[in-house]
Amino acid sequence: MKRIRRLAFVVNESKDGASTLARELSAIARARGVGFKLTTRFPLRPGFLGGCDACCVIGGDGTLLGAAREAARAQVPIIGVNRGSLGFLTTFSADEARAQFDALLEGAFQVDRRAMLDCSTRAGAHDPALNDVLIKAEENSRIVRLEVFADGEFVTEYTCDGLIFSTPTGSTAYNLSAGGPILHPAAGVIAMTPICPHTLSNRSIIFREGVRLRVVNRTPDCRLLVALDGQRDLKVGTRAPVEIRVAKARLPLAQRPGYSHFAVVRAKLKWSGGLAEKS
């Protein structure tokens, strides 16, 4: 990657040590002659990343999700520094960021271009999501009946608490908690996972990248709520369909050279496929 000449910092002040780390990293940027600007507000306002070569997010995955929409629009790589809990997206630790920031400013990172979802709830309205699109009843306690179509073909009808449509990046988020599969970020698919379906079988369905999905509400007198990345909520009329597909724009996400997705999964989820040692 090219050398960073102008940088944006997005800092979640509610995260322990985030503000202090931002001061340390901005001092390094200033000493290297890198111009920068800083905000503690997210989601980012449109145009905030204009003229920037990269965006350094200091917080948790939720903070990064708040910057993802604008970063994808501007095609500005995000450098995620974790001051939250799991940190699947903010993969640099604070110590790694301090030690490697000079090199990062020189462009010593690789960029993964992560697929996003395009969600439409009305004609001409398109909203992106990096992790997932959740469709459920507007009233939390209600079960919904949802019909799913793929490229115009009827797939099935669910009676359930809701449906999660996940990107490979989001497969380790709500999708995983609901029993869905772990997907490699480069898989090029969409996972659909029902939440508490009223059935004796509960299986996710994996759709190809180019699919056009449509969800129709068949629940009498029930409005739907569509949640994007757990941050933006869209309310849908009782009969308005929800359409989902892979977005044209991808999120450029900075990673250290040699980054391993499954190493992150093993570390963050304490996951091992090996046999337990015999005593």
Give the orientation angle of helix 94-105 with respect to helix 18-31, to 10 degrees.
20
Q: What are the beta bridge partners of residue 113?
A: 252
* From 53, 61, 132, 229, the catalytic residue: 61
What is the reported pLDDT for 122? 84
Task: Report the distance separating Cα 15 and Cα 93, nearest Å.
Answer: 13
pLDDT of residue 240: 85
Per residue in 143-164, pLDDT (tens digit) is 999 999 999 999 999 999 999 9
Q: Would you call 229 a catalytic residue per the annotation?
A: no
How many Å apart are CA 85 and CA 67, to the nearest integer? 18
**Could you tell me if 160 and 178 are in contact, meaning their C-beta atoms sit under 8 angstroms apart?**
no
**Across all residues in the chain, what is the average pLDDT?**
94
35-39/6-11 β-pairing: parallel
Q: Above 60 in pLDDT, residue 255? A: yes
Lowest pLDDT segment from 21-25, 49-53, 141-145, 264-268: 264-268
DSSP one-letter string for 81-150: EE-SSS-SS--B-HHHHHHHHHHHHTT--EEEEE--EEEEEETTEEEEESSEEEEEESSTT--EEEEEEE
The whole-number average pLDDT for the span 125-130 is 94
Domains and CATH numbers, the chain: 6-114+250-269 (3.40.50.10330), 117-246 (2.60.200.30)
